[in-house]
Amino acid sequence: MPKHRDKPRPRPPAPADDWALFLDVDGCLVDFADTPDGVSVPARLRATLEALATRLDGALALVSGRPLRGLDHLFAPMRLPTAAGLHGLERRSAHQVQAAPEPPPAFASVRDEARQLATRWPGTVVEDKGAALGLHWRGAPAAGDALRDFADAVLPRLPGYRLQHGNQVVELRPAEGDKGAAIDALLEEPPFRGRVPVFAGDDITDESGFAVVNRRGGLSVLVGDREPSAAHYRLRSPEAVRRWLAEGVAA
C-alpha cells in the first residue's frame, strides 16, 4: 500500500461549553490491549468524563464498536445516559433506545467455526457481540490473513451483513447504520441539539462520524496517524486525548 504523507492537522481547541461531544473508546479514550477484555479505564478518565458531561449539560456520548453492555461493564461504576454501541447499531439516550437486530440463523455456526479457527492461532480472539462478530489478531499478527479470508468466505452466509475492517480486527456486522448516522440522530435530540458537534476517534469506522460533524460545521478529531482521513484536527494518542479532555474540566 502506498504510504500517505501525514496531512497537517492542528490540535483541537480545549472543550467548550457549547459542544456536543462524541467519543470513540478503544484507541481513542483508552489504549489498546492484546484482547478487548484486557483494556482498562484509568480512574481519572471516569472522573474527567463525568465532570465534562456535567459541564456540557449531558451532551457527551460514547460512540463505540463495543456493545452497550460491554461499554457499561468497561466504565462501571460510571454509566453515561447516552451511548451508541456496535458502531452505531444500538443506541440509548434520554429519549430513545434502539436495539441491535437479531442475528441471522447461520450466525451461531459461523461463530463456532471462527472459534475453531482461533484455536489454531493462539493469541487471536473471537468476540461475540450479539449481533456482530469481531475477529481480533492483535495478539497474533501472523493470523491476520487467515481471519480476513475466513470473514470473506463466510460473509455470504449472513444475509444483510458486511465486513467492518479495523485496527487488527475484522468484524461481521449488519450492513445498516454507522457511527455517523448515530451521531446525526443524537444531534436531533436534547441535550445535543443546537450544539457544535465534536467527534474524536482513531479507526476507519470513525470516518462516517467525521463526515457528519464536518458537514454540520463541527470539529473532527483523528487520534493517531492513520491515513487517509477526513478529520480536520489530530491528537497523537489516547493519552493526548485524555489530557485534552482534562483541559475542558479545568477550564
**Nearest CB to Mg ion, comparing residues 94 and 204:** 204
127 binds Mg ion (CB under 5 A): no
Q: Which of residues 202, 211, 213, 244 is near Mg ion by CB under 5 A?
A: 202
Residue nearest to Mg ion (CB): 27
Q: E-assigned strands of 161-241?
A: 161-166, 169-174, 196-201, 219-223, 233-235
**Nearest CB to Mg ion, comparing residues 154 and 219:** 219
- Give me 96's grid cell: 430513545
Q: How far is the CB of 10 from Mg ion (least distance, A)?
A: 21
Query: In this structure, what DSSP letter does residue 246 have?
Result: H
Query: In this structure, what DSSP letter does residue 203 have?
Result: S
Q: Which stretch binds Mg ion (CB under 5 A): 21-29, 105-113, 175-183, 231-239?
A: 21-29
184 binds Mg ion (CB under 5 A): no
Specify whether the CB–CB gap between 95 and 59 falls below 8 A.
no
178 binds Mg ion (CB under 5 A): no
What is the C-alpha separation between 95 and 77, in angstroms, rounded? 22
203 binds Mg ion (CB under 5 A): yes
Count of chain residues binding Mg ion (CB under 5 A)? 6
Peptide bond into 101 cis (omega under 30): no
What is the C-alpha separation between 148 and 137, in angstroms, rounded? 10
171 binds Mg ion (CB under 5 A): no
User: Please, which of residues 27-46 interact with Mg ion by CB under 5 A?
Assistant: 27-28
- The catalytic residue among 17, 18, 24, 202 is 24
Specify whether the CB–CB gap between 20 and 182 falls below 8 A.
no
**Nearest CB to Mg ion, comparing residues 178 and 203:** 203
**Nearest CB to Mg ion, comparing residues 36 and 144:** 36
Each as own residue / partner, the long-range contacts of residues 144-149 (CB below 8 Å, 24 or more positions apart, any chain) are: 144/168, 146/117, 146/120, 146/121, 147/117, 147/121
Q: Which of residues 19, 24, 107, 234 is near Mg ion by CB under 5 A?
A: 24
Q: Verify whether residue 152 is a known catalytic residue.
A: no
* Site residues, Mg ion (CB under 5 A): 24, 26-28, 202-203
> Which residues are annotated as catalytic?
24
